[in-house]
Amino acid sequence: MGTSQTPRTEGKQLTTGSRLLLLGGILFAIGLIIVLLVPNGTPEGIGIVFMSLATVPTVAGAALMLTGLVSRRSRQGKPWA
C-alpha cells in the first residue's frame, strides 16, 4: 500500500472540490437564465456556452471531493465491502 494522505490534505481536497462545484453551479445558472430570458438567436447560444463551460469545474470538483472521501475512508481503515 502507498502512503495515505494527511487529514489536512483531505480537507483541502474537499474544500476545493466544493468550491469548484459551486462555481460550476453558478456558471450553469447564468447560462440557464440567459437561455430562458433572451429570445432565440446569438444570446441563446452564449447561454448554452456558459452551461457547457460549467461542466469542467463541476467534474473537477466532483473528482476532488471523491478523492478526499476515498482517502479519508481508507485512512480510517474501514472496509469497502
Q: Is the pLDDT of residue 7 over 60?
A: yes
- Report in angstroms the alpha-carbon separations of 21 from 18, 24, 29, 77, 80: 5, 5, 12, 28, 26
> pLDDT higher for 48 or 8?
48
pLDDT score, position 60: 96
Q: Across residues 55-62, what is the average pLDDT?
A: 95
pLDDT score, position 79: 77
Q: Is the pLDDT of residue 1 over 60?
A: no
CA distance linking residue 60 with residue 38, whole number of Å: 30
Q: Is the pLDDT of residue 40 over 70?
A: yes
Q: Would you kindly state where each structural domain of the chain is located, as residue ranges?
A: 23-72
pTM here is 0.80
